[in-house]
Structure 1
Amino acid sequence: MLNRISYFLFLIALLPSLAVACTIDAPARVKRITVMTYNIHHCNPPSAGAKIDMEAIARVINKEKPDLVALQEVDVNTERSGKGLHQARELARLTGMHAYFSKAIDHQGGDYGVAVLSKFPIVDSSRIILPIDPAIGGEVRTLATITVDAGRGQKLIFACTHLDLKEANRLTQAGLILKHLEGSTLPVILGGDFNALADSKVLRQLEQRFTRTCQDCQPTIPVEKPNRAIDFILYSNGGRVKPLSTRVIDEQYASDHLPVVAELTVK
């Protein structure tokens, strides 16, 4: 009996050191995710006149099965797309995802802006208005940001934007995006239509804190014989996000931009 008690006490004394060893040896959890960025042209196929074809955009998304989607040029309750039609919510329904919409401007009696879709639960969201220089004018743009729970308490930030057509505004907007996102302790993934080429001042500015998933990026516009890339997916530096592959999807009907899909690992 005495030997059994001694052995039991020995095991109790050993438990803390075993726990420390397990903590030290346990590898960091790595999750593989698929991300898409897509300028959807308010779900109006350019070859289809004024037709709004939500199902066409949903088919593109469903075929690629992304975990996260950054959408640009999204309509909510506009005359051209249909009063009562919230495109972000409808695309969420058609794809089985969660949605968050970030309004940029009033348009035709409704709203127009960017949105994000997520297969993961959205635990937080924010809308940041991006600046324009009143001296040169421009269209108000926003940054849509969500925090998602990717499972087992693993969280990450996913953001979407659509920068202005004028470079001076884009540079200021990129600066605010950096200021808003660079302090995050979570991994950050940013998708969007940047209206800027890979070697532009805007992308070089963003790449102070982020890295593109592709370096020799395939063109994304126009959809027929594309000749330039302005749609990108970027991730925060620091080693927690690593790109595996990036593809531009050859889908010429649904929109006037080609969607970009990236596979990444996040830990």
Structure 2
Amino acid sequence: MRRRIRFLTYNVHSCFGIDRKLDPARIAAVINECRPDIIALQEVDVGRARSGGIDQAHMIATHLQMEAQFHPALHLEDEKYGDAVLTALPTRLVKAAALPSSGEPRGALWVEIDLADVKLQVIVTHLGLRGSERLRQATTLLGPGWLGAVEEGSRVLLAGDLNATARSTAYRLLARQLRDVQLLTNAKPRPTFPSRLPLLRIDHVLIGEGIGVAACNVHNSALARVASDHLPLLAELDVHLQTDERKRCETIEGKAP
């Protein structure tokens, strides 16, 4: 058996659209067009003067009738800026921490999502602008404090704005261990940035074993093209339940002489 989920990753550009209008409700409306179960957000403002001092993570979550987990990669006094995971499913915060950065501070957020028969480990991040910086960050994410700490057989998903095309060293390093959902369908991979005329495929959803891809598309509605400078990436995923694996093992063991 398997559990179908709709997963969305979206760099929301602090909820400033390409028309320079600040509108978290518009971002929520774009997300709602996609009907996701789990959302990974990057460039989220919380308490920042430039965006009216509001908590964008929880405001967007409220619009969607979800809960939010937020991690500030940048934290200056009361102003925060970082990544978030939104869902109505039961969640547990596993880890939220900084990544090695030489420019703007970067971080990652790890949330465990309970799908009843299986727990999905979701890591959301926003990597740096320099290639050497991204490589250090990707190496850290693959190390013992992050993906290296995930229990064997777990269902794992890494998503976010990696600022990296498929040719980049950081992307290739991550893709050796995880699979790119855009490459697992019959559709041609599509770019996500910039939103008005997408040229670069830098927003990614990468999955581990035990997860299949039913469909994947870049959401390119009229509203999405103006709400942020990135387009959201939506993946329909089939998460295989670990109970099935146990039953298969028990069956095999029961038939053994």
- Per the TM superposition, whether the score is higher than 0.5 is yes
For structure 1, list consecutive stretches of 5 or more residues without a partner in the other structure. Answer: 1-28
Q: Pick from 127, 135, 138: which aligns with 1:163?
A: 127
Contact 2:39 2:87 in 1 (8 A): yes
Which residue number in structure 2 is paired with residue 255 of structure 1? 228
What's the offset of the Cα at 1:199? 2.0
Contact 2:34 2:219 in 1 (8 A): no
Contact 1:78 1:108 in 2 (8 A): no
SS at match of 1:80: helix
Which residue number in structure 2 is paired with residue 203 of structure 1? 171
Which residue number in structure 2 is paired with residue 246 of structure 1? 216
Per-residue deviation, residues 211-259 of structure 1 (Å, max 9, x unmatched): 00012420111112211110010101x3x11111110011211100010
Contact 1:72 1:161 in 2 (8 A): yes
Q: Which contiguous aligned blocks of 4+ residues in structure 1 show a shift greater than 6 angstroms?
A: none
Provide the C-alpha distance between the structure 2 equivalents of 1:58 and 1:116, rounded to a whole number of angstroms: 13
Counterpart amino acid of residue 54 in structure 1: P
Which residue number in structure 1 is paired with residue 97 of structure 2? 128
Provide the C-alpha distance between the structure 2 equivalents of 1:265 and 1:119, rounded to a whole number of angstroms: 18
Contact 1:79 1:108 in 2 (8 A): no
Deviates more, 1:242-251 or 1:161-170: 242-251
What's the offset of the Cα at 1:183? 3.7
Provide the C-alpha distance between the structure 1 equivalents of 2:77 and 2:166, rounded to a whole number of angstroms: 33
SS at match of 1:182: helix
Counterpart amino acid of residue 218 in structure 2: V
Contact 1:221 1:258 in 2 (8 A): yes
Please identify the structure whose Cα radius of gyration is greater.
1
Provide the alpha-carbon RMSD of the alignment. 1.4
What's the offset of the Cα at 1:107? 5.1
Once the two structures are aligned, what percentage of the paired residues are identical?
A: 37
Provide the C-alpha distance between the structure 1 equivalents of 2:94 and 2:26, rounded to a whole number of angstroms: 27
Contact 2:196 2:226 in 1 (8 A): no
Provide the C-alpha distance between the structure 2 equivalents of 1:89 and 1:55, rounded to a whole number of angstroms: 11
Q: Pick from 155, 166, 170: which aligns with 1:187?
A: 155
TM-score when normalising by structure 1 = 0.82
Contact 2:73 2:82 in 1 (8 A): yes
Q: Pick from 174, 178, 190: which aligns with 1:218?
A: 190
